[in-house]
Amino acid sequence: MVEPATATQAAAPAVAQLKDELDIVIPTIRNLDFLEMWRPFFQPYHLIIVQDGDPSKTIKVPDGFDYELYNRNDINRILGPKASCISFKDSACRCFGYMVSKKKYIFTIDDDCFVAKDPSGKAINALEQHIKNLLSPSTPFFFNTLYDPYREGADFVRGYPFSLREGVPTAVSHGLWLNIPDYDAPTQLVKPLERNTRFVDAVLTIPKGTLFPMCGMNLAFDRELIGPAMYFGLMGDGQPIGRYDDMWAGWCMKVICDHLGLGVKTGLPYIYHSKASNPFVNLRKEYKGIYWQEEIIPFFQQAVLPKECTSVQKCYIELAKQVKEKLSKVDPYFDKLAEAMVTWIEAWDELNPTAAAVPDGKAK
């Protein structure tokens, strides 16, 4: 049986790496009690809380945390008409936090995720592991059978070409979950009691040309390398689909990373996922996604970005164009989504001007 960790203070590092370069983005609709458990690991960092749902409700943030909080009114005020691209009544709204952050790195976590224990019983500092993943290279062009070669105790195996051993920069670090696994509704209905108790002690690079389902529960990324691609789509209130926000972002992100030669890692760290959402509610949200997926996946597998797309924004705009061309026939939703993707980029660029574009004339 797997349980969350309790003795987290003991596992807190002496020095919090990247504490001025990383923001922790947390979407919430209820409360932030879970932060108490993460305190020894998270307190040195700045938090961006994105409050979904009713903006008149007050979300209490535990004392001692340095944070900024945005509710729907703030999102509307800051983005104006462009706020239409940010989902309402869905944790997809978290991507607003990515957009307003001024830091190089983002770590995002759900409010029902707690500290997990490794097999020796020690509390896992998920943030520290994500940072290790992001700060070491990825190896997408050739698979290393001993997994991440930059980890202590591992290396490249015999036959791994030396010219590929420098690796490429890591854009995304995708963590996993003990206890309640990230299953879709049908699987949850068939296996309501299944718990993930297997601790797989590996980090590995997802090879170039391979897609995967990216879960937003325990995720970190280099905002400067890939930020604009991390749009979590149109979900929730008024939308025909839910629980595909992170999936959509993951497929766009992977196609762009493959095109730009950036790496994506998956595996450690584990967090302890405590809440199983209601599978019947999930089924209603997901069901269109389940069969739309069958069209969406081939679309992403075959997507080719032209050479001229040399920045993430250019890649993303191009993808939006292709979504409109190829997926609108699946459902008019994709038309709206393609437009929202463009709106997102416009909003991103407005909130994140490059040095040349800063209106007051000072370099950023």
Partner 1 sequence: MSIPVKDDEIDIVIGALHADLTSFMNAWRPIFTRFHLIIVKDPDLKEELRIPEGFNLDVYKKPDIDHVVGTSTSIIFSGYSCRYFGYLVSRKKYIVSVDDDCLPAKDNKGFLVDAVAQHITNLTTPATPFFFNTLYDPFTEGADFVRGYPFSLRSGVTCALSCGLWHNLADYDAPTQALKPEERNSRYVDAVLTVPAKTLMPISGINIAFNRDAVGPALLPCLRLAGEGKFRWETMEDIWSGMCVKVICDHLGLGVKTGLPYVWRNDRGDAIASLRKEWEGVKMMEEVVPFFQLVRLPQEATTAEDCVVEVANAVKEKLGPKDPMFARTAKAMLDWVKLWKSVGVSSYSPGA
Residues that bind partner 1 (CB under 8 A): 119, 142-147, 153-164, 174, 176, 181-184, 187, 191, 194-202, 206-215, 243-244, 246-247, 250, 266, 286, 290, 293-294, 297
Residue 322 CB, nearest approach to partner 1 (Å)? 19
Closest to partner 1 by CB, 182 vs 339, is: 182
Query: Quick check: helix, strand or coil at residue 329?
Result: coil
What is the DSSP code (8-state) at residue 60?
P
Residue 49 CB, nearest approach to partner 1 (Å)? 25
Phi/psi of residue 134, nearest 5 degrees: -75, -30
Half-sphere exposure of 99 (CA within 13 A, CB side): 27
Closest to partner 1 by CB, 47 vs 134, is: 134
Closest to partner 1 by CB, 292 vs 344, is: 292
Q: Measured between alpha carbons, how far is 254 from 264 in angstroms, rounded to an integer?
A: 8
Closest to partner 1 by CB, 73 vs 210, is: 210
Closest to partner 1 by CB, 67 vs 160, is: 160
Residue 246 CB, nearest approach to partner 1 (Å)? 8
Residue 138 CB, nearest approach to partner 1 (Å)? 13
Phi/psi of residue 73, nearest 5 degrees: -60, -40
CA angle 98, 216, 196 (to 5 degrees): 155
Q: Measured between alpha carbons, how far is 93 from 72 in angstroms, rounded to an integer?
A: 9
Q: Measured between alpha carbons, how far is 3 from 120 in angstroms, rounded to an integer?
A: 12
Closest to partner 1 by CB, 297 vs 357, is: 297
Q: Measured between alpha carbons, how far is 162 from 319 in angstroms, rounded to an integer?
A: 34
Q: Are β-strands 263-273 and 203-205 bridged in parallel, bridged antiparallel, or unpaired?
A: antiparallel
Residue 204 CB, nearest approach to partner 1 (Å)? 8
Residue 229 CB, nearest approach to partner 1 (Å)? 17
**Type and span of the H or E element at 338:** helix 333-351
